[in-house]
Structures are given as C-alpha cells and as structure tokens.
Amino acid sequence: MLATVMNELDAPGNAIPAWRDRPALQQPAYPDAEALAAVGADLRSRPPLVFAGEVDALRAQMAAAAQGRAFVLMGGDCAESFEAGSATSIRLKVQTILQMAAVLTYAASTPVVKIGRMAGQYAKPRSVETETREGLTLPSYRGDSVNGHAFTAQARTPDPARMLEAYLRSGTTLNLVRAFTMGGYADLREVHSWNRGFTANPAYKRFESFAGEIDRAMRFMEAAGVDFEALRQVDFYAAHEALLLEYEDAMIRQDSRTGRLYGTSAHLLWVGERTRGAEDAHVALLEGIHNPVGVKIGPSTTPQELIDLIDHLNPAGEPGRLSLITRMGAERIRQALPPLIEAVRGDGRPVTWITDPMHGNTITSDNGYKTRRFDTIMEEVRGFFEVHREMGTVPGGIHVELTGDDVTECLGGGEHIDEAALARRYETLVDPRLNHQQSLEMAFEVAELLR
Ligand code: PEP
Ligand code: CO
C-alpha cells in the first residue's frame, strides 16, 4: 500500500504549463538567479506534500458543494508565519475549524468540507511594493516564504532559501494536522462538548438552544447505535494562494496512474484578486494542474472576465474543478454578485460559489490598526446567501481568515472588542483574523442562514 502511494507521483517531465511566457505579477525580485534555480531543483527532487488520490477526493467534495450536497468551510491565517507555527497554534486552529464544522454540519444536514488555509499559506500579494518608516524605504513584506517581517534591509531582501523552509514547515504542519484529524482528536462527541463550553458563556447564550438541539441529535444517534468510534477520523484538506510561481511550479508532480499533473504543495490552490488575469502566468500554471482550484473575485470583476477564467480553468465544465471565491464587500455584494451569477449560469459550466467576507471589508481604525468589523463581515455573508437564494443558485461555502488564538484583531462580536482592545493582542502579519470565539460565533450565525 505504501509503495503504491509513494509511486503515485513522479517528477513531471516536460509537460509543465508555459507560464513563464506570460505576465507574472507580484513576484519577488530575487537578487541571485542561480540561488533561485538551485532551490527550484532541490524542491523538484523532494517528495510531494499531498497525493493525487486525496486531491481527487477533494474535487468530488467540491462538486457536491456546488450542488448543495456539501458545504465548504475554508479557514486559517491571512499569512502563516514560520515562528507562530507551534503545535499549540496548529492544534487550536484545527480545533476551531472542527468546532465550526460540527455546527455547520448539523445546520446544513450535509457534510462540511474542511479545508485549512494552512500548511503553505506563506506568500502574500501586496498593494504597494515598498514600505517607508522614518525615512527608510524597504521592499514590502511578502510572506515568510519570500522575506522576513522585520524592518531591516537584510530581512526584507527576498531569499529563495525561504521556499525550502516553507516546504518543510508545510510538511510538518500537515503531519500534525493528519495526526490530529486521523488520531481521534476530531471525535464528534469531544468537538460538541467544546461547543457546549462556548455556548455556556453568557455572551453566547443565544446559541444555547441550538447547541441543545445538537445534544439531542447526538443522544438520538447514540441510542440508535451509531458507531461514534467510526466518526473519530475526518478528512481535512490544505489550501493556500498559489502566488509564488517558482515554488508552485517546483511542486508539480505527475500521477503515474493517469499521467496527469498535480500541484502537490496543497490539495486546493487559488489565485488572488490581484493575479487572476486569464492570460497571465498564475492562471496558466493552474491550467496545467488537475487540482480543484479557486479564483478570488472582487467587485470590479466583469461577466466576460469570469467566462474567460472558466474557459481557461474549466474548459470542459468538470464538476468540482473551479471555485469562485467572491470578496465584494458588504456594501457591494448585493449589486455586484447577481450579474456574475447570471453570466455563469448562462454559460452552464459548473462552479462552486464561496464567500470570502473578509477582504472586501478591511478598514483602518482611528488608532491605526488594519481591522474588520464582525457585523460587516456577517453582513457580507448574509448578502451572499440572499443573492444565491433569490437567484436559485447554491451558496457553496465560506472562506475566512481566522485563528484559534485569543487575539484582538477584528472589532465586535460577543466579546465587544473595541478599538482600544485592538492594542491588547494584535499579532497578525498581514490581515486581521477572527479569533477563536468570533469564529465560533460566525459558525452559529451561518448555521441560522443554512437552516
Ligand atoms: C488573501 O486571501 O489574503 C488575499 C490577499 O485575498 P484577495 O486576493 O482576495 O485580495
Ligand atoms: Co488576507
């Protein structure tokens, strides 16, 4: 068995998509081309992080979500950091996602597809190339797989060796995630008892009766003889933005069963709002691999751009292949989304619609923090559900920036985090994340929309 799995993916030969001939946005300016090439060669010789069979299983689940037979929950840091990747922080993130998934599964009465925005989320697109502090201008921080966050010339110079570190960190993170989710930590009874702890907090009293309903369902399952031991293992997938072309290219492997190419840095890869040009390098790279892929879609997206993206990324209309992750902003989603849905519906090729209610709702607080309001985030989620319900299409999932830690980065929620509280524990390297409690609160509120 092990031998089969190990042989499944080989080095790809010559069939890599010709992304190098296309415009490539948001790539680091590496000072040393030879060092970069050496890292690429090294990565090509290493084992894949995920396997083709797992990737195919996820594609089938994404297809189910497009039809309302499953619901996708994707969550994790805006930018993972090498330093913060401790066992505790990984465990708390997985725990948070499992707790959210339990609530959503009950509400939707369908499986929830659990995808960590983790084990590889190390590269960031930036709106500005440089950052200036007290007269000193340096390259912007682009994620730990590119450069360091510290504001020194040395740290900010892109270093290709960081891609090797990202590969190893991704591998160790995935290893722990697999151990947690396959080793009994995902036991539904345990996960539900954590949720009971959450609803016992007076701030979240309004969710108690819902949690009570799940209690009764669990007791019914137990009485009916459901084998809870068999429910101790769950499928948990990894996803990140495929931003760093040299890294993603070096992680492509060929499935020896079918000859198909797979990106093996994660199960699902997406392109961001800033790099989604249909004729550009990022889309070309995703065109060549057989993974389920996503595209972030902002409010200025035109119907024609979407059709062009589908032409490139899912020409044959394969179910589960393409997810459109809309990030419109709470104020714009109700106007911006319908014409896009209309165009895609008219086209007929299936997509999985997912809402990212984070990136269209970023503000700066009066005391200078990049933040988001919990209520605004929820307002975009509500808009997403409303529009899909009105149009008879399927709201297939949510994509959120979250952490299992008790940080104070987003405003509001049951704990009423205010501007002053942001200073208490603001740790994100790029965008503000929902903390553990805010994430669960979101799950209970989304549950109400799913019922
Ligand atoms: C992100 O997901 O962190 C991000 C940069 O998103 P977008 O491409 O939608 O702006
Ligand atoms: Co972000």
**Closest ligand 1 atom number to CA of residue 79:** 3
C-alpha 183 chain-centroid distance: 23
In this structure, the residue with its CA closest to atom 3 of ligand 1 is 78
20 contacts: CB under 8 Å, gap ≥ 6: 281
CA 430 to ligand 1: nearest atom: 3
Specify the 3-state DSSP secondary structure of 363: strand
Residue 426 to residues 99, 268, 406, 409: CA-CA distances in angstroms?
23, 29, 10, 5
pLDDT at 4: 40
Amino acid at 66: A
- Cα torsion at 136, 140, 141, 145 (round to 10°)? -130
What is the distance in A from the centroid of ligand 1 to the CA of 272? 5
> How far is 159 from 146, CA to CA, in rounded Å?
6
Question: Tens of pLDDT along 253-305?
Answer: 999 889 999 999 999 999 999 999 999 999 999 999 999 999 999 999 999 99
- Taking CA atoms, 211 is separated from 107, 191, 328, 448, in Å, by 11, 12, 31, 12
Share of residues in the chain with pLDDT > 70 (%): 96
**Does the pLDDT value for residue 15 go beyond 70?**
no
Cα–Cα distance for residue pair 19/183, rounded to 1 Å = 40
Q: What is the pLDDT of residue 6?
A: 41
Query: What's the mean per-residue pLDDT of the chain?
Result: 95
Strand partners, 412: 417
The reported pLDDT for the residue numbered 7 is: 43
Distance 84 CA to ligand 2 centre (A): 17
Q: How far apart are CA 448 and CA 451, in angstroms?
A: 6
Q: Torsion over CA of 410, 167, 276 and 320, rounded to 10 degrees?
A: -90
Does 321 belong to an annotated binding site?
no
Q: Ligand 1 center to residue 273 CA distance, Å?
A: 6
User: Residue with structure tokens 């999985």?
Assistant: 352
Residues 6+ apart with CB under 8 A from 111: 61, 64, 69, 70, 71, 105
List, for residues 313-326, the tens digit of each pLDDT value.
Answer: 999 999 999 999 99
Please give the structure tokens belonging to residue 267: 């199960």
Q: Where are the domains of the chain?
A: 22-124+163-186+237-450, 187-232
pLDDT (average), residues 161-190 = 95
Question: Which of 355, 356, 377, 403 to probe ligand 1 with, by most ligand atoms within 8 A of CB?
Answer: 356
Structure confidence at residue 232 (pLDDT): 87
Q: What is the pLDDT of residues 131-161, one digit of tens each?
A: 999 999 999 999 999 999 999 999 999 999 9
CB-count exposure of residue 82 (10 Å: 0-12, 13-18, 19+): middle
Is the pLDDT reported for residue 2 higher than 70?
no
Top CATH class of 22-124+163-186+237-450 equals alpha beta
pLDDT tens, position by position, 87-111: 999 999 999 999 999 999 999 999 9
pLDDT band at 11 (very low <50, low <70, confident <90, very high): low
Check residue 8 and give its pLDDT: 55
* CA 334 to mean position of chain CA atoms: 23
Q: Is residue 208 scored above 80 in pLDDT?
A: yes
Q: How confident is the model at residue 185 (pLDDT cuts 50, 70, 90)?
A: confident
How big is the chain, counted in residues?
451
Sorted by sequence, the CB contacts under 8 Å of residue 195 that are 6+ apart come out as: 99, 102, 103, 211, 214, 440
Assigned token pair, 58: 């996820």
Is there a contact between 264 and 253 (Cβ–Cβ < 8 Å)? yes
Question: CA 448, CA 207: separation in Å to the nearest integer?
Answer: 10
Determine if residue 273 is labeled as part of a ligand binding site.
yes
134 is known to lie in a ligand binding site: no
The C-alpha atoms of residue 24 and residue 44 are separated, in whole angstroms, by: 21
Over residues 230-252, the pLDDT tens digits come to 888 999 999 999 999 999 999 99
pLDDT reading at 431 higher than 90: yes
For the segment 171-197, the average pLDDT, to the nearest whole number, is: 94
Residue 117 assigned ligand-binding role: yes
Residue whose CA is closest, atom 1 of ligand 1?
A: 78
Residue 18 pLDDT greater than 90, yes or no? no
- Identify which of 195, 184, 268 has the alpha carbon closest to the alpha carbon of residue 229: 184
- The tokens describing 120, both together, are 């590889």
Q: How far apart are CA 143 and CA 19, in angstroms?
A: 22
Residue 357 has pLDDT above 80, yes or no: yes
Does residue 336 have a pLDDT over 60?
yes
Q: DSSP letter for 29, please.
A: -
Q: Is the minimum distance from the CB of 77 to ligand 1 under 6 angstroms?
A: no
C-alpha to C-alpha distance for 143 and 84, rounded to whole angstroms: 13
